[in-house]
Structure formats: structure tokens, C-alpha cells
Structure 1
């Protein structure tokens, strides 16, 4: 092989190696070893916390989040979901994994009835550890819009009752990417969700 041929061949080989490396990195970002592929990007939102202060989803950067959409007068699936999330909370607390890098988020569909005091009472009744929980509210149209951005459909039936799709418990990683969507209520697989949360906490940011 002539020196001129080698001179042209080397950049081509280097380019091919770089392209392969870029493709490998991209594939691994979308298909990590833990099997939790990236489902989508978590939409940004701005709502209000229990003190009526503005709350931006940007403040959750760097944390793993498990997010539910609820209304506290719900007779079945919402309290069952919150109850299971508290069981998950307790398992994570036992391992020192809750409250700093791992957050539980609850957004109410029903701000008219779910006042800050009602939400505080709900949190106390459910035994939510507020060092790691964020309860949010806003105008009904705002929260319905946020829910829609996360693929959750909501319909107000009147008289304080809402319907929404039951597969709407959302796991978000520290880069604000949706990594899994689970069934709510009594169909929740708490052991699996704990494993998934721990896997995301171990991922390199």
C-alpha cells in the first residue's frame, strides 16, 4: 500500500470509528443495561405548592420522580395508588434512598375541592413523608393540560368526580426523561417499581 493511499485511508477509518462510537453511545442512552428504555421527555410545567408558591418542574432536575395524578375525593384508584406509593416510600427510606434524590409527586385534578388544607390532611392520612413528597395544584385547566402532556386523559364528570386512564403512574429519571408508565391502584407491582427506581438512582448522570 502506497503512502498516499495510507494517507487517505486513515481519515476514513477514523471517521468510521467515530461514527460507530457515536451510534453506540446513542443506543446505550436509549437502551440502558437496566432495561428501562427512554419512553419520552418529561414535559416542563409550572404549578403551585401547598403554600401557594410557584413551583417549577425545573427544580426537580437531578432527582428520580414517581408522579401520580389524583383527586382526593376519588373513592378507589387514587387513594390505592397513594397508599402503594407510601409503601414504596417506606421501602426506599429503609435503604436511605428517599427524600433527597428521589421524589414522589402528586398533582390534583380538582383544585376547587383539593385546597392546600385538604391536601395536607390527605398527606397526613396517607402518612406521606413530606421530606420527599411534592403535592401540587393549579387551575383545573392547568392541571388537565399538564396531565395531557404526560399522556393522561382527564374528564370532569361534575360533582367532584373525574375519570382518567388507569395507566398513568409515571417514572422519571434524573435527566427528566420518562422511563416507565405503570398501572395505578391495586394493580401496582411495588417490588418492580422499587427495583426500577433503584436502577435509575444508580445511573450515571
Structure 2
């Protein structure tokens, strides 16, 4: 084989080697880094609602903090209280680690404002063990809350008996940049270990980005 023929193949071999290295590097990144991240599901919409003290709360209050958001109504006979009870258990674990109310907050939004007055929500919080130092209960007009929920692809329907049916998969993990990073099932199917793991993943992500 002539020298000219060998030299013409060298650039091809170099190109193939570079391509191989790029593929290997991508695989290593995907295996050891990206697998530990959470995809961005959607942007979390802006809102303006009222807390139990009558003060206006917007999404800006939670900038820089990780939050779990649920949509509830206190007359719910099953899914909502089960969800809140599981969130209280998660609250306890976060308190032990010094994260609750500091780096991680909870938000529960009622879509039954006629029944769920501030007094009713306060009683609900006390009965179920909600720590309002890191857990904000919010209310607004029924139509307003339904509009906010619909932006998360959550459906809320008023039934003939005055109660509500709503999407079971409607528990939201939102990062400090107002982005939904995971969506969980409510009620007895909640996986607190998975939620805690995801929270830790976002905390590590925020530390890397800071």
C-alpha cells in the first residue's frame, strides 16, 4: 500500500476515534449524572391567593425553595385526608433533617372556599398536625383555583351532592425556579420514600447551581 493511500485513511480513523470518544463520554454522563436528575415537567403557573390570615400569597414567596403542592377540600372523605396524613409524616422527616420551613415548604390549596373558611382550614390543620411554620394553606374563588389547577393538567369537578371529584395524580414537586419536577399520586398510594429521594435530588441540584 502506498504512503499516499495510508495518509488518506488517517483523517477517517481520527474522525471515527473522536466519534467513539464522544459516544462514550455521553454514555458516562447519562449513566452517572443525568440518571440522578429530574426532568422538568412544565413551568409552574403564577398565582395570587389568600392565606389563613387574609394575606395575599403569590408564587414569589417560594422562590429559591422546593415545595410540595396539593389541591384539597376538607370535606373529602378519603383521598385528601390520607394525602395530608402522608404529607405530615413527610413533614416530620424533613423537620428531623432541619429542612422543613427552610429549604422545603408545603402548600395546600382548597378548591372549596365556601366551606373551607379560614376557621375551618385552621381546625383542619390542628386536627391533622400541619405545622404552619412551613406549610401554607391557601384559598381563593372556586373558579380561580380550578383555573390554576387546570394549568397543572388537574381536573376538578363539582358533583351533584356538592362534593368534588378530582385527579388523583395531582401532588406536585416544584423547584425553586418555579418548575414542576415530578407529579405523584395522592392518598394511600403516595410513596414518601420516593418523594424524599426526589427532594434530596433537587437540593443537591440547587447546591451545584448556586
Q: CA RMSD in A?
A: 1.8
Does the residue aligned with 1:178 lie in a helix, a strand or coil? strand
TM-score by length of 1: 0.83
Moved over 3 A (4+): none
2:155 alignment counterpart: 153
Find the partner of 1:74 among 63, 73, 76.
76
Does the residue aligned with 2:159 lie in a helix, a strand or coil? strand
- The size of the alignment, in residue pairs, is 179
Say whether 1:115 aligns with 2:107: no
Find the partner of 2:45 among 30, 43, 46.
43
Q: 1:13-162 counterparts in 2 under 5 A? A: 32-162=34-164
After superposition, give the CA deviation of every residue in 1:78-108 in whole Å (9 maximum; x if it has no partner): 0000000010010111111111111100000
1:193 alignment counterpart: 195
1:203 alignment counterpart: 205
* Structure 1 residue runs without a partner (length 5+): 1-19
TM-score by length of 2: 0.81
Shift of 1:158: 4.0
Radius of gyration: which is bigger? 2
* Structure 2 residue runs without a partner (length 5+): 1-21
Evaluate the alpha carbon distance shift between residue 62 and residue 32 of structure 1 in structure 2; reply closer, same or farther with a 3 A threshold: farther
Counterparts of 1:146 and 1:185 in 2: how far apart (Å)? 21
Aligned partners of 1:113 and 1:160 also within 8 Å: no
Does the residue aligned with 2:180 lie in a helix, a strand or coil? strand
Counterparts of 1:196 and 1:123 in 2: how far apart (Å)? 25
Aligned partners of 1:110 and 1:160 also within 8 Å: no
Counterparts of 1:119 and 1:203 in 2: how far apart (Å)? 34
Counterparts of 2:196 and 2:171 in 1: how far apart (Å)? 13
